[in-house]
Structure 1
């Protein structure tokens, strides 16, 4: 019985630290692998975006009833 004394607490401490480390790693990978490139892509798109030109193209095709 002495072997099992504190076994749960020891395992929980190890697994909680491991889970926290993995969660931080996944969050950092998502931030730098997905979120930052997406923000840069949106910034680049809207830096050069001409909404009137896009509207004129849509008006000629999709929005034929808009004058």
Structure 2
């Protein structure tokens, strides 16, 4: 039993490290990259003033009056 932890760590530690790198890379390319691309695509077409005017006309803001008043 002497040295069992050290012997097992020599085997399991590199495997755990390699698996964590693989999982991190997989997460990056399957989750974060598509998410960043979706945000970029959304903001290419996004018009903040148009959205603001639509919310203003709907009466969402209490401090801003619609243009017709």
TM class, shorter-length:
0.7 to 0.9
Gaps of 5+ in 2: none
Normalising by structure 2, we get a TM-score of: 0.80
Q: Which has the higher contact order (CA 8 A, sep 6+)?
A: 2
| Correspondence for 2:64 | 66
Q: Which runs of 4+ in 1 moved over 4 A?
A: none
**Which stretches in structure 1 are left out of the alignment for 5+ residues?**
none
Instruction: Provide the C-alpha distance between the structure 1 equivalents of 2:57 and 2:2, rounded to a whole number of angstroms.
Output: 77
Aligned mate of 1:38, from 35, 40, 43: 35
Residue in structure 2 matching 1:7, options 4, 12, 17: 4
CA root-mean-square deviation: 1.6
